[in-house]
Structure 1
Amino acid sequence: MKSSRLLSILLLLQTRGRMTAARLAAELEVSVRTVYRDVEALHAAGVPLYGDAGHRGGYELLAGYRTHLTGLSAGEAEALFLTALPGPAADLGLGPAVAGARLKLLAALPTELRAQADRMSRRFHLDAPGWYAPDDDAPFLPAVAEAVWRGRVLDVRYRRWTEPTDVDRRLEPYGLVLKAGRWYVVAARPGGSGPRTYRVDRILRLTVTDEAFDVPGDFDLVAHWREYQRDFHARLYRGEALVRLSPRGLSRLTGAAARAAAGTGTREPDGWTRARVPVESPDRAHDQFLALGRDVEVLGPPELRALIAATARALADRYTGADG
């Protein structure tokens, strides 16, 4: 384990340059004290590694030093072939490049690893979009990806959910995220308060300018997206409903409602489950619970129960009227 960690420190410094002990510790999921001990071990082994104290300090390899201890383990080779998603790569215009890289990697592997990696690619296929999600037409995705890579400002015409729907925006694209088959660009407006998230398929018109920009040094795309998702869910589920669910209704719940019912629901003598579940809005909850039909009873809040009762009466009138 320690030898693997020492090699990881070398490779991190080789690929990323200067890094602090705290950053290395976070990457390796160890304590800062462990990093200090590992650095001492590398020094003792003759690795030209030096460190500076202070705000801009950190560890760095001597210029020109590179380790050649980069052989892949069997698990690493298999994992690499699982990361080659042909669909997203093609969306970005990188399909041929990914295919070429895969062939080169396969040819460079030892025979035993080549067989394992090839078997992995034949046994596993990753298809990111959901079953019922339509394919989003995002014709500007390759241009957005190019702007992200080259650090170029975008002029876009963007369609929002709220009025005014179609707006012009000047954006500095920091990064792209693929979520459930849909592409998002995280971008800041020059002089704005910080990066926001935009759906690429809602871009109506786009121009890649020659104006360059620099992504802030402290921006972390993964951390930003994680925080964005937390905020999104906090904004999304602003209400709560008290419901009773039959076993069939309970099995048909999805997402946050299913997790809440499974975690906090109580079983009643008739076999139904009473639970409090998060809801987006009365209208959205109305549609969600009506889809469960007779397998759910909404007990509260009163306005949601009244809304569903009114729909149920209208449906009853419509169908009884058709019979007589």
Structure 2
Amino acid sequence: MGTIEFHQVSLHFPQAPRPAVKAVSVQIQRGELVVLLGPSGCGKTTLLKMVNRLYEPSAGWITLEGQDICRLPPTQLRQNIGYVIQQSGLFPHMTVAQNIAVVPRLLGWSRPRIQSRVEALLDLVKLSPGEFRDRYPAQLSGGQQQRVGIARALAGDPEYLLMDEPFGAIDAITRSALQGEILRLQHQLRKTILFVSHDVEEALRLADRILVLRQGEVVQFDTPFRLLTQPADPFVHDLLGADDRVRQLGLLRIAPAMAPLPNSPIRNGQPTLTPEDSLRDALSLILKTGFPEITVVHNGRPVGLLTLDHIRTSAMGGTQN
């Protein structure tokens, strides 16, 4: 379960001068997080909304795990698709628990099962059930509302998640924290996610693959690293800032760049990172602390050493891990 496939999908709104989406044919794999990226008006949200049939295609068709979604009643289809929008979309007259319970109630779950699910999901999104269960949306910060929105989208344990610029109206610090939460949840749950964004840094951080759209058409569908190092055309090159070496470092892990350092103690005050941190993190830490090298630590044990020369060599080599 979990694949989404677009088959020559187009949508032309009445009186519009050109199609909003034109002949899109791509396949999203099970458990993959795909970011739809492009300038305003490129068709990102339109394409997303066709998956849960908020819009119907003018031509072509969409399948979920091989099944044409037009053969399913919209209500049945949407029960297996979580949907998260900007500003959370919570019902203001309902408590946090009631908001999260909307889909389980529609599915006919028992009250004890719903209560258990609400508490589990609040724990999952790092909101204490005892503190937040009975609050109303107006009593939450923007970031807390978005966490509840994510919990509500996950409530029926859907196979698919559609996320339409969910962090677009949130301050930069909260946005970064929520991006980290999405990565953590995706590592834990492995949902198939379509995520609309106009933010290149967000796309590069979150995506397994990025679908770049321009005027409703697919320009390139590839991994973040390949988009940065092998852009299909000048539009992709300029959109992603493909000449930005520091941005490329954010996609390279420390592990293959470091020098092995078994059984060596950490010197007092020396900065540390893990093998899974990025070379961009490492460069930032070296510049911030003034230390010439970083100790790489795994499970509390030093396993490697990273210097500016290691970072430079990896950047020039241009290999992804």
TM-score when scaled to structure 1?
0.30
Who wins on radius of gyration, i.e. which is larger? 1
Higher RCO structure, 1 or 2 (CA under 8 Å, sep 6+):
2
TM-score when scaled to structure 2?
0.30
Task: Give 1 or 2: higher helix fraction.
Answer: 1
